Structure 1
Amino acid sequence: MNKVFSSSLFAGRVNIVTGGGTGIGFGIAKGLLQSGSHVVIASRSKDKIENAAKDLQQYSNNGAEVIGLSCDIRNRENCGEMVEQTIKHFGRLDGLCNNGGGQFQAKAHTISENGFDAVVRTNLYGTWNMMQEAHDQFMGENGGHIVNIVTTNRTGMAGLSHTSAARAGVKSLSQSIGVEWARKGITINNIGPGVVTSPTAVANYGPLGEMMFGNTEKIIPMGKLGQVDEHLVAPTMFFLSPACVYVTGQTIDVCGGLSLFNNHALQFMEITGQLEAEEESESD
């Protein structure tokens, strides 16, 4: 992160990262620590989050501390207790990254009521719970930065309709509350990762994981999968940093251009090799 941000940019500041034990959340927590921020990472699994906190400590800069707290973001009381513990330990809360979430791939007609409810409660209600607790316990009086990790769902997400609906709700919340809380010095913005690869991401989709991640790069305009440290951390940290004081209610898609690439004929030609053949013919 020192390639992009000063190692002291976040010195003395405090950030919460939900879902910080693995994948994207772990990478964001690492970047914050490297730039001097105290970090609280949260997850439902107490053992997993405490072990992740131990692993993250090696990246600490300028005396930054990382602690792991167990929290089920679907449970409002859990969220309130976790925010309270953070403020009690560090005395403040400058930033919140709502990364905790989850979904499973399924056609809409096969999703059960419980399955739909679980995904919406985690991704939409969980984000709402954390935002409101952060506001009520500290940011409402002191300002702060909130970043929500969403998805690149400009045209919906066939096969993931439950999470697409939930993340669209988060984007709308960010716009609505971004206006309501703007004069309190609170910024609320979203990061929409494209296809970001990590061992946990691949494993999450079971047998489909390797096939999905292995083939998607063929239709990404930049021709490569997203990487947490290389592509996702810096944009997220900007939204959490003191530099982000006049931007709110916005979403940045970090996806290598995939969310803009909806020309299916062009996709088909590229995948089948026809486009390369035509380009070679024209150059001759």
Structure 2
Amino acid sequence: MTNRFSGKVAIVTGSSNGIGRATAILFAQEGAKVTITGRNAQRLEETKQEILKSGIPEDHVLAITTDITQEEGQDEIINETIEKFGRLDILVNNAGAAFMDDKRTSGVDQDISVFDKIMQINLRSVVTLTQKAKKYLVEAKGEIVNVSSIGAGPQAQPKFIHYALSKAALDQYTRSAAIDLIQHGVRVNSVSPGVVATGFGEAMGMTAEMDRKYFNFLESHKDCIPCGSIGKPIDIAHIIAFLADRKLSSYIIGQSIVADGGSTLVMGMQAHNMMDILKS
């Protein structure tokens, strides 16, 4: 590991699991002081212990168990970070979720309360936390990396309409905020993962067996994932670190890097070998 983030302070939201956990660990290993945050205290402690196992000093890690969708929780994250570390250089807006309603309805009939809940965490919390962090990021000439999704489009997402809406809106926010903040020296970019093995399915009520079955199907169908394998959280963490590293990505402003194993590059007709069809 390098020390490319030595002297930097990063906040990684949703770091009790998955992409957020991998990102927080990677940043700490590469020299950053890191604020980790999430709603599950036990899982957040697991993230902290993983960081400490890397030989990172305990005073380089701040763990805050709170609800990112609440203004008080966001104030706690920002204020305690500044109080402990004295600055903020990198904000990773990773926290996000998809939900089902009580009847497990999907599509246009899904209860509007699900829309409100998803927009609250996937979009509104990003907007308000960014506002609260702006002062300190401007002082540091810092970086913001948002975690979006290939669900933002342009392909339709009929089963997860509200989730897709929130991520499409987040992409526009990334572009617009990037132009607004670059005049102050702050860069804003995002990453759009495809299917990644995280705790996302569990949060939607899927069992480990259901996750396994779903992932096996996707990996065995090149019309779903051409590279033939599910992404790992560390795959996305490395992209986030790249976007947060001004030496490597200084000329990238308001863009989203797609990391999906090729999923968005194929259509059904392209996923099958034409010569095999002709030979049959």
**Shared topology, TM-score over 0.5?**
yes
Report % sequence identity: 25
Match of 1:131 in 2: 130
Match of 2:21 in 1: 26
Match of 1:114 in 2: 113
Match of 1:157 in 2: 157
SS in 2 for 1:148: strand
Show the 5 A alignment for 1:1-284: 2=1, 7-61=2-56, 65-104=60-99, 106-136=105-135, 138-152=136-150, 153-155=152-154, 156-198=156-198, 200-205=199-204, 206-207=206-207, 208-217=210-219, 218=221, 219-229=224-234, 231-243=235-247, 244-261=249-266, 263-267=267-271, 269=272, 277-278=276-277, 281=279
How far residue 64 of structure 1 moved from its aligned partner, in angstroms, is 7.4
Over aligned residue pairs, what C-alpha RMSD do you find? 2.2
- Per the normalisation by structure 1, the TM-score is 0.86
**Does the 8 A contact of 2:89 with 2:142 survive in 1?**
yes
**Does the 8 A contact of 1:174 with 1:249 survive in 2?**
yes
Name the amino acid aligned to 1:246.
Y
* Distance across 2 between alignment mates of 1:159 and 1:239: 31
* Distance across 1 between alignment mates of 2:72 and 2:54: 31
How far residue 209 of structure 1 moved from its aligned partner, in angstroms, is 2.5
* Distance across 2 between alignment mates of 1:112 and 1:132: 30
**Does the 8 A contact of 1:40 with 1:68 survive in 2?**
yes
* Distance across 2 between alignment mates of 1:158 and 1:18: 28
How far residue 213 of structure 1 moved from its aligned partner, in angstroms, is 1.6
Seen in structure 2, the aligned counterparts of structure 1 residues 60 and 21 have a Cα distance that, compared at 3 Å, is farther
Q: 65-74 or 52-61, which moves further after superposition? A: 52-61
